[in-house]
A and B are shown apart, each in its own frame.
Chain A
């Protein structure tokens, strides 16, 4: 029996929707979108954007429609290895996504089309490269008509970027609680006074917020000819220049110096890399999630082998460093994301179903949890059993490092608090993890008390 399962988050645009059948993702294009789709494909715009790796490629397929009478065509987009959200992106990821959106908009105008929306969720990363995944975002351009996505672009891209660059990088989390974009009046209040000296921020955020508030009380008159082509190009150019002028330098962050400031000897670090690399080679996983990845030293052991890898870290600075390194290396397989594992991204949106939780986006074949356990167990008071059961939800195999209480990092954490962790020891760790994992191998690193475990999920983790 074939079931058509509509994909959450693709129901707002009447042009079409995504559905899954037999584990394959399809996009149904509605008849209402026919002229726009035909223009996209016939004008050469699709080919140009796919050649420039700005738009997800697709194939037209002859399969039954999910909703027959309304269907024009069914397309099968190239699958994505992972879906991420703007509140998980570091500064440069959001900036790259914003500039990609504007570049696509400019290219589309050259082919007589326009982006009818400008949502961050339309952009996904293939490694470090952003690309548009919504093939139905294009619309035939009618000169004079204002850009419907302008407010969305300002709220979802420009406002968080300005707040990150000019106020505090952590403010990008606001995009999670305001999925339609950070309200511009709020962004205007939060931004420092000096932001008004930047013409692009003054116009597109401060005056936009004020003007929209004043003008919102008037009803629109119906007539065309308001925003000429040259004016629209001017707005896009202004947004692009403003965004290019925003920079965030991760001056002093918590973890970016971690590898230079650990109790690992160079020999132990090399041995750890060799060991983890060997396990990855042996397991040959199809996907890897590196939890507490820092700047991605160990993630790169997987992505370097062409394995789609997502690395998560609590520190936006470490995520930024890792992303910029990936950009420099043209890494198509590593996606660094900013994530607090003690409070991972929840399911969100309408019916809690437009954005998936972290666990819903798994499982990965292999989970790396190196130098992480003490942060969860001692830093967040999480019992081993709870950590084990959460990790078992995320993946099939697990490479986990046990950091004993005598370790200087743990001692540093306990220096200013009571030791309420009598059960934090190797025996308890193994006993609790054995309830959900099978321990395959244990290795002790030279010059270190730390242990590296290779474990396998006791349950079948694939659907």
Chain B
């Protein structure tokens, strides 16, 4: 775990100009978390878009079918 964390941090360092102390460890942890959660969230949103596209497509077909 620590090796993975440090590896990710070396890949994605960043800075912050905040009045609030974000906590050094917490700041680094967020970068790690962002990498993990970002991928999952991006994937979920992508799936959601496909699903809504398909729904629209099916919905339109259904609508046409029911048109008098």
Which A residues are closer than 8 A to B by beta carbons?
12-15, 116-117, 144-152, 154, 184, 203-204, 207-208, 210-228, 230-235, 237-238
Contacts and interface: CB of A to CB of B under 8 A. Distances in A.
A442 B32 CA distance: 67
24 contacts: A116-B18, A117-B19, A146-B27, A146-B34, A149-B20, A150-B26, A151-B26, A203-B36, A203-B37, A207-B29, A208-B33, A211-B29, A211-B32, A214-B25, A215-B9, A223-B13, A226-B14, A226-B34, A227-B30, A227-B34, A231-B35, A231-B37, A233-B41, A238-B37
B59 interface: no
Contacts of B17: 145
Interface of B: 1-2, 5-6, 9-10, 12-20, 22-38, 40-42, 45
Given A228-B34, A228-B38, A218 B15 contact: no
A145 B37 contact: no
Contacts of B42: 230, 234
Given A235-B30, A237-B41, A145 B5 contact: no
Main secondary structure of the interface of B (DSSP, over half): helix
B30 A150 contact: yes
Nearest to B29: A211
A211 B15 contact: no
Contacts of A217: 25
A227 B31 contact: yes
B41 to A, nearest CB: 3
A167 B27 CA distance: 27
B43 to A, nearest CB: 10
A202 to B, nearest CB: 11
A148 B42 CA distance: 22
A95 B58 CA distance: 38
B46 to A, nearest CB: 10
Contacts of A230: 38, 41-42, 45
A152 B18 CA distance: 13
A213 B42 CA distance: 28
Contact of B31 (A15, A210, A226): A226
